[in-house]
A and B are shown apart, each in its own frame.
Chain A
Amino acid sequence: GQQLNQSPQSMFIQEGEDVSMNCTSSSIFNTWLWYKQEPGEGPVLLIALYKAGELTSNGRLTAQFGITRKDSFLNISASIPSDVGIYFCAGQKGSNYQLIWGAGTKLIIKP
């Protein structure tokens, strides 16, 4: 099915570094959602964005709804070991069951 273009696919970073990932699409979305999934667990909602240009923070995480409504990014500042996991974006065009998912960004912290 249709997917969002999420990049990068994976990231190796040093503890303390800032992280940035994004999702883009050729379609316009009404809502953007960012999730984090740890091994063997269900995805956990991090941030929800509802308006073009909206910038929302959740602790060290900041996400923005692109002005064109076709993209969104997620930043993590000063990464720590517990940030490892897979981050997914999801865009919603209409009703709840029409979420379109990115393929995920796997965050790995170098020892």
Chain B
Amino acid sequence: SQTIHQWPATLVQPVGSPLSLECTVEGTSNPNLYWYRQAAGRGLQLLFYSVGIGQISSEVPQNLSASRPQDRQFILSSKKLLLSDSGFYLCAWSANEKLFFGSGTQLSVL
């Protein structure tokens, strides 16, 4: 069966520090991968999606970037975090028109 791992679960970072969130998927090959952000009490906003290694599409202009160095690895990064980058970040993969989420990373930028 397929599983998705996302870490860390929580992260507190100072403004201006770098960021690296990692997501890996097991049990499937060549998945579509996604990064979403969710503000407190709000819906989900798609940040990036990837249909293959090295292929990244960005949905909104932002301070973040994404990379896919391996088939089942998706990384969300920032060189310098802003206060507005705080939020709940979710990695997801899709199959058969269904989207499956990781457990999320709560990022607090102080």
Chain A interface (Cβ < 8 Å from any Cβ of B): 1, 3, 30-31, 33, 35, 40-45, 48, 50, 88, 90, 92, 96-97, 99, 101-104
- Contact indicator B43/A31 (Cβ below 8 Å): no
B99 interface neighbour in A3, A45, A102, A103, Cβ under 8 Å: A45
Residues in A neighbouring B98, C-beta threshold 8 A: 33, 45, 48
If over half of B's interface residues share one DSSP class (helix, strand or loop), that class is named, otherwise mixed; here it is strand
Q: Is B7 an interface residue (CB 8 A)?
A: no
- Total cross-chain contacts (CB, 8 A): 56
Q: Considering the chains assembled together, what is the distance between the CA atoms of A88 and B45 in angstroms?
A: 13
If over half of A's interface residues share one DSSP class (helix, strand or loop), that class is named, otherwise mixed; here it is mixed
Q: Is B87 an interface residue (CB 8 A)?
A: no
Please list 19 pairs of residues, one from A and one from B, whose beta carbons are closer than 8 Å in the complex, sorted by A's number. Answer: A1-B60, A33-B98, A33-B99, A40-B106, A42-B6, A42-B102, A42-B104, A43-B101, A44-B101, A48-B98, A88-B43, A90-B99, A96-B32, A97-B32, A97-B49, A99-B46, A99-B99, A101-B43, A102-B43
Residues in A neighbouring B103, C-beta threshold 8 A: 41-42
Contact (A45, B32) CB under 8 Å given A97-B57, A101-B44? no
Residues in A neighbouring B32, C-beta threshold 8 A: 96-97
